[in-house]
A = this chain, B = another copy of it.
Amino acid sequence: MSEENSNRTWKGKLHEIIYEADTPAGKFFDVVLLIFIIASIVLVMLESVKTIDAKFHNILYYGEWIVTILFSIEYIARVISVKKPWKYIFSFYGIIDLLSTIPMYLSFALAGSHALVALRALRLLRVFRILKLARYLGASNQLANAIKASRAKIAVFLFAVLIASIIFGTIMYLVEGEEHGFTNIPKSVYWCIVTLTTVGFGDIAPETPLGQLIATIIMILGYGIIAVPTGIVSAEYTKASGDDKNKISDEEHEHIKDLQLNTQCCVNCLAETHQDGAKFCHKCGCKLHHD
Residues of A within 8 A of B (CB): 41, 44-45, 48-50, 112, 115, 118-119, 121-122, 124-125, 127-128, 135-136, 138-140, 142-143, 146-147, 152-159, 161-163, 166-167, 169-171, 173-174, 183-187, 189-190, 193-203, 205, 209, 212-213, 215-216, 219-220, 222-224, 226-239, 241
Q: Which residue of B lies closest to A229 (CB)?
A: B227
Q: Are A231 and B228 in contact (CB under 8 A)?
A: no
- Looking at the assembled complex, report how far the CB atom of A186 sits from the nearest CB atom of chain B, in whole angstroms: 5
Q: Which residue of B lies closest to A196 (CB)?
A: B223
Q: Which residue of B lies closest to A135 (CB)?
A: B152
How many protomers of this protein does the assembly include? 4
- Looking at the assembled complex, report how far the CB atom of A101 sits from the nearest CB atom of chain B, in whole angstroms: 17
Q: Which residue of B lies closest to A190 (CB)?
A: B212
Chain B contacts of A48 at CB under 8 A? Answer: 173, 184-186
Q: Are B222 and A199 in contact (CB under 8 A)?
A: yes
Q: Are A234 and B241 in contact (CB under 8 A)?
A: no
Chain B contacts of A49 at CB under 8 A? Answer: 183-186
A-B contact pairs, 30 of them (CB 8 A): A45-B184, A48-B186, A118-B167, A119-B167, A121-B163, A121-B170, A124-B162, A125-B163, A128-B159, A139-B153, A139-B155, A143-B153, A147-B228, A190-B212, A190-B216, A194-B219, A196-B223, A197-B220, A198-B198, A200-B201, A201-B205, A226-B226, A226-B227, A227-B232, A228-B233, A230-B230, A230-B231, A231-B236, A231-B237, A234-B235
Chain B contacts of A203 at CB under 8 A? Answer: 202, 205
Tell me the bound Cα distance from A234 to B203 in angstroms: 34
- Looking at the assembled complex, report how far the CB atom of A187 sits from the nearest CB atom of chain B, in whole angstroms: 7
Tell me the bound Cα distance from A222 to B56 in angstroms: 35
Chain B contacts of A185 at CB under 8 A? Answer: 44-45, 48-49, 118
Q: Are A170 and B227 in contact (CB under 8 A)?
A: no
Chain B contacts of A229 at CB under 8 A? Answer: 223-224, 226-227
